[in-house]
Amino acid sequence: PDQSAELLCDYIYQMGVGRNIPLHAVAYDCSNHMTNLTLRSLAEASGGRYHCYTASCEEQIYTGTDISIILKEIQKVQEIINRIKEMRQGMMGSALISIMDEISTEVSKLPQSRFLPRPPGHDSPLKIEFQKFHPKTSVEWIRQHGLKAKKLDLYQVLAPNAYSYKEEFIPIIKKAVQSQVHEKAMVQFQWHDGSVKNVHVDMSQLFEYQKQLAATVSLYESRIDWLASGSRRIFGTVVEKNIVILVDVSVSNVSYLVHIQHSLRLLMEQQIGNKEFFNIIAFGSATIAWRPTMMKPTAKNLQDAWRWVLDLQCGGSRNFLSAFRMAVENEEELSHKTTVEGIYLFTSGVPDQHIDSCTAYIEECTSGRGIKLHAILFNVDDYDANGAIPGRYANITRTAECLRSLSHCSGGRFHWIRETGIIESDDIQYVTSEVDKCLNFSRKVQMLVDSVKKKYRERYHHYEDMKALPAPEYTKLKALPPPPRPSLKQIKAKEGDSDDEKKVSPQRPASAKSPDKPLLSLRRPVSAKDPMERVKNKKILRSSFFMDATKNKVGDGTGTVYKKYPETKSVRKIVARPTLPDQEDVMTTKEWIRIYSLSKLKMDLNKLVAGPDCKHQENHVKSLSKTVSAKYCDIFPSINVKGTIKHLQLLPHELEEYEVQVERVLRRYLKRLQWLLSGSRRVFGTVVHKKCIFLIDTSGSMEPYMEELKRELASLIWDQLYRQGVKFNMVQFSGACDAWKSNVQPATQENCHDAIKWTSRLEASGNTCTLEALKMAFADYDIDAIYLLTDGKPDTSTSMVLREVSKMNEDRHVQVNAISFNCSDNTANNFLRLLATETGGRYHRCQSDFDAQLFAHKLLSEGFADSEYPHLPDLEGDDLRRLGEEIALARKYIAQARQYRSLYNTKTTSTEKQQPKDSAVSKQIRKYLISSLCFWVFFYGLTPFLSRILAIHGGQY
């Protein structure tokens, strides 16, 4: 620069005071030595870094700030190595002794845990988790979620249907009699008090009880998993609000100091954050507390306590009573009315004092104060005889017994762990005992069910040998010939006999049976059926009552009241309101239309207007010598339905409602069409199978479309295969075949990424060996379907391909879905369509010469006013074609409904034109015509039309 280096450095230093803005300087291939020094001074003045690059002199590169710092450290290391070499050669003399003394002094100042292997992040700050709930001991949890609390105790369930034996003395027979159950209908079951009761077994109730037991066992298992996770695996569940932790740091635990620190770290991170007060006391021969009194578990206090734990050192024996006395006899805490509630002893051996003295002191201090001592024993290897031996020694079994008695004497819990896991835990034992109860009750329920089954098997064992009688041989009876026609004399003689019988026979009561009629039974053979037998008879409900026979001498003294009359079934059809799903179902269009077609939704217009009451009738009148139509033919519009003249009985408002419902269905069809044309379904169609293989044509003719094909394959994998959990495989074929995997693979994220990576390496070249690809696909016996994507015919004969596929698929019934990808050859498309049809698959064609999405969008946005425009494009795929046919049919029905509705307007207009001016005579004539029309309606039995006729004419008649 133009200015001097001293001036620039001074200016930069003054401007950067208090701002902490470093200036980094880079010398780029600068040959001037003074320039490099100036840049380095500028960087050092602002606290920045200097870097030098040169292509000619490598020595200048080492003058940079970063590289020079590393070089200085390398020099220090080299100096240390040289000194060590000199020490080995004995060149330092007495200096070696002083160096060793200095090293020993520095090492003695370090904590013992620095020389033990530590987990990663051991010295880092705590990551505190604040629990949102207060945990409970398993005893309290079982009171709320146990079998008795849920009323799932087996004896509670069976108690309403359990009956005890009774034995009483009967004075009449002078002996004691026991109660008995009729035919041993109940099952004997031993009760919890040792008595035996008769139990009525309700199979359905016990089945539901077994299901509830299974759900309860899964709840208990989740509780056990929770108790065995995190810091609860080491300390159990910390449930009290004011706690003190007693940590054993005796010399016996010097090798386990890091383990103790790590356990305390987990405890402070996971369970102490939601407490009110806590403190940590470490004891060996001497007792050291983190704080004189308990403190609130704030983040700052927890971090400070963790730093204190890191500085702990092991030494001395186990003066347990001193630490316990410091926790329970804190005068400062008592003055502030802050009492400890739970003391957690974390130790690996028995205390220095005798067990009886410890137990007596604990009972005296905790009685009446609600303080509980919980003992946690972490199992260590047996003590080394050459190392430090504690003041009192006991093996691990005696140690566990001692600590168990210490915790139980104050109502606390005992927890025993080692590095491999939990050995004993009171919390887990309470839960496992409930699980054992569930298993015991389940076995007893099974015994009850087996006893009931055995009883019924013994009672009805003879029914097993009984077999159904064989069906009698059926011989078709022939109708008898008609009886000979009687002569006129015989008829008169029979009439005379019948008159005599009527005179002689007395009056028959209503309850008497009808007399036999042998002549009637002979006229009709047994095998002949009544043509009206299949028609259900309309039952008439009536009730009979008795009358006073002394006053009314008529009849048999009974009367009848009719309560219910037969209802005539209406043949009139109403417009349905179908229910359609909002979400798209992953199924073929054939299956979807089978559920939601217009005919299944009862929206077929031809069926609605083609009922039996709509028929156009013409009768021949002999007096007029001509054929006359029925009177109602002039009222209802006439329409042609499939070549038959019918009368339209759907009123205009019903036709309008029909249009609304069909338009709603049509909108749903169009949304389905848009869904089929979106995403990967536009190219591959809908993948409806769970195990499929994709055959991808990579012949030379696919070269212009390879990039598009790779994008669509990636979309297929994520859009359909991964989302639906489809097991899949891919095979690319050209001159030869290459598979992605040997068999189908689940659609995991790893497999999907691997498949996309495999497809990205596809290249187009060679011929089209379709038959070899199909053979490779059929070699996998786990597949359900094959998806073949190609742009043309195979190299071999198409008939040979069809014949070989038929042989391979004879017993397997694997569907081959053919996909025509940008193929305009009709011969190739016909081959693919035939291949899919013969294997029960679907044919799909992907082409871009029309936009069916635009067709659906126009209809949804512009409405259905025009039934012809926009024109439905030619949809050649099976799924699209079937849906397109249903869309075209819906548009046709809407147009027909509008045309039928216009007939009413035309008929009303023509009637008004022909109607003369109202006068007295015209009103009389009109009244006469309507009356005669109503008469003919009744005469012909067309009663259902009467209300409709009156409605059309205003209802004033």
Q: What is the pLDDT of residues 56-76, one digit of tens each?
A: 777 788 888 898 899 899 999
Q: Evaluate if residue 120 carries a pLDDT over 80.
A: no
Res 659: pLDDT: 86
pLDDT at residue 503 greater than cutoff 50: no
What is the count of structural domains for the chain? Answer: 5
Spatial separation of the C-alpha atoms in residues 433 and 445, rounded to whole Å: 18
Q: Look up residue 748 and give its two tokens.
A: 């995991």
Q: What is the pLDDT of residue 787?
A: 94
Residue 872: per-residue pLDDT: 74
According to DSSP, the residues that pair with 541 across neighbouring strands are 564
Residues 342-360, mean pLDDT to the nearest whole number: 92
Q: Are residues 44 and 33 in the same domain?
A: yes
Which alpha helices (H) appear in 89-162, and where do they start and end? 95-109, 138-145, 154-158
Task: Indicate whether 825 belongs to any domain.
Answer: yes
Is residue 514 assigned to a domain? Answer: no
Residues 377 and 339 in one domain: yes
Contacts of 903 (CB under 8 A, 6+ apart): 637, 639, 648
Give the pLDDT confidence of 862-921 residue by residue, as tens digits: 777 776 777 777 788 888 889 889 988 988 888 888 888 887 777 665 555 555 544 454
pLDDT of the residue at 941:
58
Which of 806, 841, 876 represents a domain boundary (last residue)?
841
Q: Is 787 helix (H, G, I), strand (E, B) or coil?
A: strand
Q: Could you tell me if 864 and 666 are in contact, meaning their C-beta atoms sit under 8 angstroms apart? A: yes
Task: Please state the φ and ψ torsions of residue 512, each to the nearest 5 degrees.
Answer: -75, 155
pLDDT value for 513: 46
Same domain (yes/no): 740, 804: yes
Cα angle 393, 395, 398 (rounded to 5 degrees) comes to 100
Q: Among 187-196, 355-364, 490-499, 722-731, name the one with the lowest average pLDDT.
A: 490-499
Look at residue 778 and tell me whether its pLDDT is greater than 80: yes
The two three-digit tokens of residue 586, written as one number:
């992953």
Task: Report in angstroms the alpha-carbon separations of 407 from 424, 432, 556.
Answer: 14, 20, 96
| Residue 573 confidence (pLDDT) | 64
* Residue 828 resides in a domain: yes
> Coil, helix or strand for 23?
coil
Q: Is residue 529 part of a domain?
A: no
CA 208 to each of CA 157, 213, 214, 308: distance values in angstroms, whole numbers, following the listed order: 11, 9, 10, 56
- What the block records as the tokens of 675 is 């869904």
- Select from 797, 820, 841 the last residue of a domain: 841
Specify if 750 maps to a domain.
yes
Does residue 270 sit in the same domain as residue 372?
Answer: yes
Q: Would you state the pLDDT for residue 466?
A: 53
Tokens matching residue 193: 């008090």
Higher-confidence residue of 605 and 118: namely: 605
Classify residue 672: in a domain, yes or no.
Answer: yes
Q: Do 660 and 768 fall within a single domain? A: no
Q: Checking DSSP bridges between strand 187-190 and strand 196-199, what pairing results, if any?
A: antiparallel
Residue 957 has a pLDDT of 43
Q: Which residue has the higher pLDDT, 539 or 219?
A: 219
Shared domain for 749 and 898, answered yes or no, is no
Residue 529, pLDDT above cutoff 90: no
For 81-90, 635-644, 756-765, which range has the lowest pLDDT when averaged over its residues?
635-644
Percent of the chain residues topping a pLDDT of 90: 30
Q: Which of 942, 900, 949 is nearest to 654 (CA)?
A: 900
Helix/strand/coil for 818:
strand
Query: Residue 296 — pLDDT band, cuts 50, 70, 90?
Result: very high
Q: Which residue did the predictor score with more confidence, 645 or 395?
A: 395
In this structure, the answer to whether residues 405 and 265 fall within a common structural domain is yes
pLDDT at 788: 93
pLDDT the model gives residue 777: 92
Q: Are residues 263 and 308 in the same domain?
A: yes
Same domain, 734 and 827: yes
214-223, 498-507, 638-647: range with lowest mean pLDDT: 498-507
* Residue 754 lies in domain: 688-841
Q: Rounded distance, CA 374 to CA 235, Å?
A: 9
Integer CA distances (angstroms), 853 to 165, 340, 872, 884, in order: 81, 74, 11, 12
Alpha-carbon dihedral angle through residues 801, 803, 805, 809, given to the nearest 10 degrees: 180
Range picked from 133-137, 848-852, 862-866, 951-955 for highest mean pLDDT: 133-137
* The pLDDT of residue 205: 87
DSSP code at position 721: I
Mean pLDDT (whole number) for 341-348: 94
Average pLDDT along the chain: 79
pLDDT for the residue 903: 79
Contact 324, 305 (CB under 8 A): no
Indicate if the pLDDT at residue 512 is higher than 50.
no
Mention every residue, 6+ apart, whose C-beta is less than 8 A from residue 454.
Answer: none
More reliable by pLDDT, 428 or 851: 428
The length of the chain is 957
729 with 586, same domain?
no
What integer is the mean pLDDT of 291-307?
93
Q: What is the identity of the amino acid at 361?
A: Y
681 and 705 housed in the same domain? no
Last residue of a domain, one of 412, 428, 445: 412
Cβ-contact 561, 535 below 8 angstroms:
no
Q: Which of 115-129, 485-499, 933-947 has the highest mean pLDDT?
A: 115-129
Per the model's pLDDT, the better-predicted residue between 520 and 59 turns out to be 59
Same-domain status, 304 and 368: yes
Question: pLDDT at position 381, please?
Answer: 62
AA identity, residue 789: L
Section 482-503 average pLDDT: 56
Lowest mean pLDDT among 92-101, 658-667, 796-805: 92-101
Stronger pLDDT, 498 or 335, i.e. the higher one = 335
pLDDT in tens, 157-205: 888 888 887 778 888 887 888 777 755 678 888 888 888 888 888 888 8
C-beta contacts of 34-37 below 8 A and 24+ residues apart: 34/5, 36/60, 36/63, 37/5
Q: What tens digit of pLDDT does each residue of 241-279 get? A: 999 999 999 988 888 888 999 999 999 999 998 899 999
Per-residue pLDDT tens over the stretch 680-730: 888 899 999 999 999 999 988 888 888 989 999 999 999 999 999 999 999
Average pLDDT over residues 377-401: 70
| The token pair that represents 635 in the structure block | 């009222």
More confident position, 488 or 321: 321
Answer yes or no: is 616 within a domain.
no
Integer-rounded Cα radius of gyration of the chain? 50
Please indicate, yes or no, if residue 523 is contained in any of the structural domains. no
Sheet with 287-289, strands from edge to edge, namely 287-289, 277-283, 242-248, 342-347, 372-378, 414-418, 421-425
pLDDT at 528 exceeding the cut of 50: no
Please report, for the domain that includes residue 369, its CATH number. Answer: 3.40.50.410
Per-residue pLDDT tens over the stretch 405-427: 999 999 999 999 987 889 999 99
